[in-house]
Amino acid sequence: MVVFVKICGITDRRTAQLAGDLGADALGFVFAPSSRRISPEAARSIISSLPAGVLKIGVFVDAPVAEVQEIADFCRLDAVQLHGTESPEYCAALNVPVIKAFRVKGRETLSEANRYRVAAVLLDAYVAGKAGGTGRTFHWQTVRDWVPPAPVILAGGLAVDNVLAAIRSVRPAGVDVSSGVETDGKKDTAKIRAFIQTVRRVGDAAGRERLLRVLRRAICTGNVDAGT
């Protein structure tokens, strides 16, 4: 099993291009309050320079549906990632594939996730008062034996030293990293390279391509029956 890699919190063109060159499958642009927040204008400029094969994903937290849709259209995002209390109805109202994030407190979080018909679900660590990007892990055993409603992207405190253990424990379709590839709050090229190379050790090239086709189809078409 080889998983999809998303580098989140992109704020500049150089990092975006390097991440793509190093093999990132998706890049995340944060439009919610955060130290990694980027303006729609800056994101659009970066996105326009990226190859079509790299998915561009916008991160939002409880923004109005119209605002999310407007930014998605303006920046030409492939999908949006929602980290707030957005309801299933909210997700369905968007005319763009949705990755719904859930902060895992326990099995009850997974029951909540099962209510959503989205392109993918992202599992992050629960930290009170924080919507994400905390650099914390959660108890991966919580999701053991769970049958998810859509492909799973694992986030929360991942870095080169724990990502293989995380993949073997959760068996996600993808992994999402931000602070784990930073030094002093800035994206670190060496850490991005090491993270991607480490993830690529799992499985074979043909298997990776099959999985990526499944996940890209799920994200780009909203086909939630693509599986993990």
How far apart are the C-alpha atoms of 7 and 27, rounded to whole Å? Answer: 5
Residue closest to 114 by CA, chosen among 131, 125, 100, 127? 100
Contacts 24+ apart (CB under 8 A), 125-132: 125/155, 125/156, 125/157, 127/103, 131/32, 131/61, 131/83, 131/84, 131/103, 132/59, 132/61, 132/83, 132/101, 132/103
Strand-strand pairing, 4-7 and 26-30: parallel
Which of the residues 25, 75, 78, 124 is marked catalytic? 124
Backbone angles phi, psi at 174, to 5 degrees: -155, 165
Q: Give catalytic status of residue 145 as yes or no.
A: no
Q: Taking the CB of residue 183, how many other CB atoms lie within 10 A of it?
A: 11
- Select from 28, 33, 31 the least CA-distant residue to 15: 28
CB 50 within 8 A of CB 28: no
Contact 117, 90 (CB under 8 A): no
Tell me whether residue 161 is one of the annotated catalytic residues. no
> Which residue in 8, 75, 91, 176 is the catalytic one?
8
From the centroid of its chain, how far is CA 1?
Answer: 18
Residues forming the active site: 8, 124
